[in-house]
Amino acid sequence: MASELCKTISVARLEKHKNLFLNYRNLHHFPLELLKDEGLQYLERLYMKRNSLTTLPENLAQKLPNLVELYLHSNNIVVVPEAIGSLVKLQCLDLSDNALEIVCPEIGRLRALRHLRLANNQLQFLPPEYTKNTILPDMVVHICNPTTLGS
């Protein structure tokens, strides 16, 4: 399966794909092949749903700078690195059905972001940056204790 994954990513790099589907691959770690050399500069949409990821790389924005949509739902992600705030073109971020307890305020500062999905995590509160971001028309969040929202 590892060689199939490497081949898929290599083809995407060589052919400058804008979309990459890595769903249902039982990935426990973010594929290093995605971050190799200059990364995938042309990639705009990355689908990695229903894997077993627990973390995201700090250099995600540096290696995949043109991401517009990032689908990471149904993994086991606990922490989202602050560096995600550098994905300045990101419009859609789906982190629903993970293990998030806290989300970094940097996501709330993404000005291009239009769709944020954080449902079915272990969130206790959202940073104030999220409640102040009035440009988010589609934000789906389930808070375990809604009295702490934005406090």
Q: List the CATH number of the domain containing 62.
A: 3.80.10.10
Mean residue pLDDT of the chain comes to 88
- On the question of pLDDT at 3 being above 80, the answer is yes
Are 91 and 113 in contact, with CB atoms under 8 Å apart? Answer: yes
Q: Which residues contact 88 (CB under 8 A, 6 or more apart)?
A: 61, 110, 111, 112
- Structural domain count of the chain: 1
- On the question of pLDDT at 125 being above 80, the answer is no
Residue 39, domain extent: 2-148
- On the question of pLDDT at 145 being above 60, the answer is no
